[in-house]
Structure 1
């Protein structure tokens, strides 16, 4: 069986910024990503990463958590504040809390060290397909006060644009297409992230972040509600407060 990185024609030429202060990790990651058809740049710390982000406009940043100068979590927050560049975090920490912190900072995915370089390539390809490839041209979804435009990748609530990351938009679009239906976290992980296996807390974190942007009061959600014992449901008209409690 071949062990060479899989090249994907729809993604070749995409620019990846690898940020890691370990030259061996950066070299291995860069070699495999280059072999898969990506244009790879490197940075050794958070400050250099932010400068290269502004200068190069990469499609995705592979970002180590433990960095000198500005750590990976703060770097991720600044990347997210600057735009919607996809971020895949690398972490040597294995606790769920550490992964959740990365997701809350705005990461689209994470990979735990030590990692398989082939898995890194596959994760990068998966994130890029989800976040940067052109979406099919679909009619806008209008439900309640929400309008979700898949072609323009713009969502509004009562006429005001919602400042969503690519993954938050995907989650809202999926739910808005199916108002009133309850989905468990495994189903959402498969449908929105494309993962058949993964950390279900990824969904929990993104639901929390999405609520902060689409709910008038995120502490008492009326639209993206928890269905206890099942998962989540999108109610564009607003559920009675007695029905819902934030998770």
Structure 2
């Protein structure tokens, strides 16, 4: 009887894993069109809606004047944008986290982190290529950036990366410190968006688009992970406790062969 029960559990877990993989890839594929707010913003950008254009131009010009008048402030923004919140930095953190999860044998959580990060990058690049929006052209620019403008890759990468780091690591953070972690994540996401507009390399709507699209990717891949948890009989989790509360155990995935 125990042998049959173990075999049945193995089959159930394998079926759940297959469904999880399909859901994860499917969620990533439709993430770009699943976010209604992002789709609406995309329509407004593509249609060159005048109120949005005026807002973009006003924010760009005001922040550009401040950047020209305060050299030290501008240098700080460059440092934050090009080093602290640079997409390469954020993706490296997620890659290290994924490697650590693999070392912990948290296979499914590692796959979720990797797929979320990679899907976010590819979807952002695809939308940039399709929309082909030019970056702001300002007199006496204080910074330069290659490629198209919408959505902001910095803003999108910060959104997906901070979400991955939070949702994976929260179970190991004492509850009293979790609001601090959320605060750092929100500050990073908002801060990188501000630096991109203040440096004159993105429109305000580019940044909002990056935030919305990044949030859509995380929401959909997170849904896929929660669906897998339900399939294997685990309880649903709250956002405030992370995706895998069991990660605090010594061997979080050993029992899920």
Q: TM-score range by the shorter chain?
A: 0.3 to 0.5
RCO (CA 8 Å, sep 6+): is it higher in 1 or 2? 2
Q: Determine which structure has the larger helix proportion and give its number.
A: 2
Per the normalisation by structure 2, the TM-score is 0.31
